[in-house]
Amino acid sequence: MIRLEVRSTPSRLASALSPLAALLFTVAVAGLIFWALGKDPVRGLKVFLWEPLHGTRGLTELGLKATPLTLCALGLTVCFRSNVWNIGAEGQYLMGAIGGGGLALWFTNAGLDVGRWGFFPLLLLAGALAGAAWAAVVALLRDRFNASEILVSLMLVYVANLFLTWLVFGPWKDPKGFNFPQTTSFAAFTEVPRLVPGMRLHLGYPVALLLAVAVWVFMFRTHRGLQLQVGGPAPLAARYAGFSARAALWMVLLGSGALAGVAGAFEAAGPMGQLTPHVSMGYGFTAIIVAFVGRLHPLGAVLSSLLLAVFVIGGELAQSRIGLPAALSGIFQGVLLFSLLACDTLINHRVRWGGSRGR
């Protein structure tokens, strides 16, 4: 019989190196999958892991994909550390895309040209408000009716997706779009300012980095952040210390929704320039993996978002260049998460063989 005993002092070095071990295991599994599919493992790994880092265009595309992952993961990091299990960042991302994209569409149709730098803060505000409003539904149902935030936030993802689909098939549909489910292309001034001429990387990435620093300061250098750190794993101690669980619930959910909403607004007005049913590539769900690979740390989320962005781009390249399935990227993301959880289990527990069944 196999038993797991809790270690009295888990190794800090092993905990720090466990993401690297999980990554190496994922790479090994990827090579085996390539071989099982009849592809050259060396070439497959090169396309999947190296090509996304090759050249200026590759690096800028990496930053572009990492932007929504970083923003969504930052909000989820704060939620998970506070013991609030928000699984609906995808829905909040979609509502942010609707909010920011709807504002860009309105300015376009009205012919109101305020310039890119004039529209950029309005885009941020619209995305943040839309995402926070969607997260407020989760907070309200949890606060007033003690509904599970896991189920509510997850179900609201599908509501947001259906709402977006209704908009682009209905009232916001481009009348000159040959019946495609999409809005009119937004005016040029609504585009998020780009960082590198001729490349798609935009101002959203440095904004995400600044927000990561801001979240780190809030969580580890402010009294309110300390309350959330204490209240998450020890709610009874937080209540004894006078910390408000209700205030923490609303704060983390609204903040997480706002960050995911900003990510959605950046995607709609950034590389896409219009709204379609495919405005998201599952960034909100992938951000859950990003948060855990980043060890629920704001700065760790920045690094892990780059890693998962490599997986996203590598999956697209592997599909187009060597004919691998599109679902391969999701498989590798799942392997990475489960191998990381396995590493953490072995770090915090000692495997014991034998013993009676009654124990």
pLDDT of amino acid 358: 46
- Please report, in tens digits, the pLDDT of each residue of the chain (359 residues total): 788 888 888 888 888 889 899 999 999 999 999 999 999 999 999 999 999 998 899 999 999 999 999 999 999 999 999 989 999 999 999 999 999 999 999 999 999 999 999 999 999 999 999 999 999 999 999 999 999 999 999 999 999 999 999 999 999 999 998 889 999 999 999 999 999 988 999 999 999 999 999 999 999 999 888 888 776 555 666 666 667 778 889 999 999 999 999 999 999 999 899 999 999 889 999 999 999 999 999 999 999 999 999 999 999 898 888 888 888 889 999 999 999 999 989 898 888 886 555 44
Of 36, 23, 28, 26, the closest CA to residue 325 belongs to 36
For domain 40-323, the question of CATH label 1.10.3470 is answered with yes
Give the DSSP per-residue string, 225-266.
HHHHHHHTT-HHHHHHTT--HHHHHHHHHHHHHHHHHHHHHH
237-270 burial: b if 16+ Cβ within 10 Å, else e: ebeeeebebeebbbbbbbbbbbbbbbbbbbbbbb
pLDDT of amino acid 325: 87
Q: How far apart are CA 22 and CA 20, in angstroms?
A: 5
Contacts by 45-51 with C-beta closer than 8 Å and gap 24+?
A: 47/314, 47/317, 47/318, 47/321, 47/322, 48/311, 48/314, 48/315, 48/317, 48/318, 48/332, 49/310, 49/314, 51/313, 51/314, 51/317
Task: Fill in the amino acid letter for 321.
Answer: R
Q: How far apart are CA 50 and CA 43, in angstroms?
A: 10
Domain boundaries, given as residue ranges, for the chain: 40-323
Residue located via tokens 């790479």: 27
pLDDT of amino acid 234: 59
Contact, 202 vs 266, CB < 8 A?
A: yes
Q: How far apart are CA 102 and CA 173, in angstroms?
A: 12
Beta bridge partners of 353: 2
Beta strands in 165-314 (DSSP E): none
pLDDT of amino acid 67: 97
